[in-house]
Structure 1
């Protein structure tokens, strides 16, 4: 089945078939969802889904979660993995996190439909499938950190995702000042969402462990002492670090390359390292470099699943 999206449709403005929480404003909306769902699943065995827009696949995934069809959700996740790139990594990651928080339990509650249209896999396997896609998003972010951390979508992430991204040892960022700028811009946006004034006490309360995500000891003295960066105050002026912490970091920066300055807490002086650049295969659980061969295998398995599941 081919789901067509008009080329002139504004990106990111696709109206969801259903939100991640599975709620509707009217009773007839749910009936329409069921009709669309039956139409999709009635042809899915003989005509695999072809989707070229991540937003559409995410909307359909939310519907699959709502109607508890694991086979349809599986296809959506495979499609998303195939479409994954640096531009859409945050969109997909954010949606998966909202799915976790909006459904009952810690993870998406995928169960067979009643009566079952497709035989659902083991629940833990489905959860692993979602986790693998999330891991692939993080690997994609690692490789394009400078680009991703400056995206406006970064400011829309939940706290846990911001922390996961910015504390990764494998984040390939050209300078730690970019990480600092990202967490501060996110913090200011989060204060606005909570209707808090951007005072030092509120910034520190919102940031929590994020205040130590940037590896300050790897910054240059000029970067650490900069007045502003991307519209936010520099590290020694923002107030998120106390005076003793600031002095210790400056001492480390001054001694770096001359004497042994020791290590800073929270990995503040530990260089990040490049990841192996590999993605998790969705079916076998083995790692493989994402490329043309992987895309062929995923497409083949998608068709195979649709015909024989």
Structure 2
């Protein structure tokens, strides 16, 4: 955790009074690229006390200069504003997914696990059809880098982590959010695959999604998604929209992830048969199999392994969501309570001390009678 999480009782009061204050400011941050550059006043002692990265950054500067001016070009102004709010002990309120993503990036680079957790919690709570792919792509990229700081440059500064740092926990939280993203994508695949944002995925991200056995959607939608993706990818890199270029940017691993033999004849004719991804021999073999027409496999790209895979149905996901936010924990607790209550209602009554007393009284009455 950041040292600011264990500050002395007087520090939050002092630092909160200094946030967004020019009084006593001895460092200025210019954040972002022109013309969208934000200016932030800062206080060396507050930032050095609150964060190891700022401590290393400020210690390497010229202490004799009355004021530092530090440009930071890899963050946007809103994310840096929330980063400073967190370090100055101000309340941090996140209100949009783009802000959560950019703030997570800032918190990761400046080694602020507490702020990272706030972002992860918000993203987990607001996951929906319109942003699931964006969150998945971003967290997938970051989940393997949660223990790395690149601001300041580690070659220029020696950053000493707090011995109580919980960055490993943040890495686990990031991977848990990634798990939840994939579960959401699997469970809402028909709605997800038609989203425009699928065209913005990196190739390896697209491959991870379409290869999943739990991506529960019609194969015609899977094919349409990869077809749109490779068309946009060719345009993005100024390539001619030829069958050769389309297939080259897509790759056979993604192309052969579609379960073609689960399509009906109409879906195959309107999709792969009229598209530019499969070759004519490949289309001929697959259509013949769909029509149950005996034909020799005349293409070396369609192997017996491919044919077997293309016949396997995708299945609905059976794994569970990992509760990251309080909402998720509360829901899990309420589910357990309801289950216990239901079991108590249907289970036979147990004998209590009152039952035993009543039984003894009745026995004595019978004895004396």
Taking structure 1 as the reference length, what is the TM-score of the superposition? 0.69
Structure 1: where are the runs of 5+ without partners?
1-21, 101-105, 227-233, 257-261, 284-288, 297-309
Partner of 1:42: 88
Partner of 1:303: none
Paired residues of 1:112 and 1:120 also in contact (CA < 8 A): no
Distance 1:201 1:77 in 2: 41
Aligned length: 249
**Distance change in 2, residues 1:251/1:29 (3 Å):** same
Q: Does 1:235 align with 2:272?
A: yes
Distance 2:71 2:333 in 1: 36
Which residue of the other structure, out of 83, 103, 122, is the alignment partner of 1:60?
103
**Pairwise mapping of residues 11-30 of structure 1 onto structure 2 (< 5 A)?**
29-30=71-72
Distance 1:254 1:52 in 2: 53
Shift of 1:211: 1.0
Distance 1:196 1:65 in 2: 36
Shift of 1:148: 0.8
Distance 1:24 1:115 in 2: 29
Q: Deviations over 1:147-194 (max 9, x none)?
A: 111111111111111111111111121x21111000000000000111
Distance 1:68 1:204 in 2: 41
Q: Deviations over 1:60-110 (max 9, x none)?
A: 11110221222211221122112212222112112224546xxxxx53444
Paired residues of 1:236 and 1:246 also in contact (CA < 8 A): yes
Structure 2: where are the runs of 5+ without partners?
1-30, 38-68, 152-158, 294-303, 335-369
Distance 1:112 1:197 in 2: 38
Shift of 1:203: 0.8
Partner of 1:199: 242
**Pairwise mapping of residues 117-196 of structure 1 onto structure 2 (< 5 A)?**
119-123=164-168, 125-173=169-217, 175-196=218-239
Distance 2:188 2:82 in 1: 37
**Pairwise mapping of residues 208-247 of structure 1 onto structure 2 (< 5 A)?**
208=251, 209-226=253-270, 234-247=271-284
Paired residues of 2:216 and 2:314 also in contact (CA < 8 A): yes
Shift of 1:35: 6.6
Partner of 1:253: 290
**Distance change in 2, residues 1:274/1:291 (3 Å):** farther
Distance 1:36 1:144 in 2: 32
Distance 2:262 2:87 in 1: 53
Distance 2:205 2:119 in 1: 22
For 2:309, what is the secondary structure of its paired residue?
coil
Paired residues of 2:214 and 2:317 also in contact (CA < 8 A): yes
Partner of 1:267: 309
**Distance change in 2, residues 1:95/1:205 (3 Å):** same
Paired residues of 2:80 and 2:106 also in contact (CA < 8 A): no
Flag the structure with more relative contact order, 1 or 2, with Cα contacts below 8 A and sequence separation at least 6. 1
Q: Deviations over 1:113-134 (max 9, x none)?
A: 96768942153x4323212211
Taking structure 2 as the reference length, what is the TM-score of the superposition? 0.58
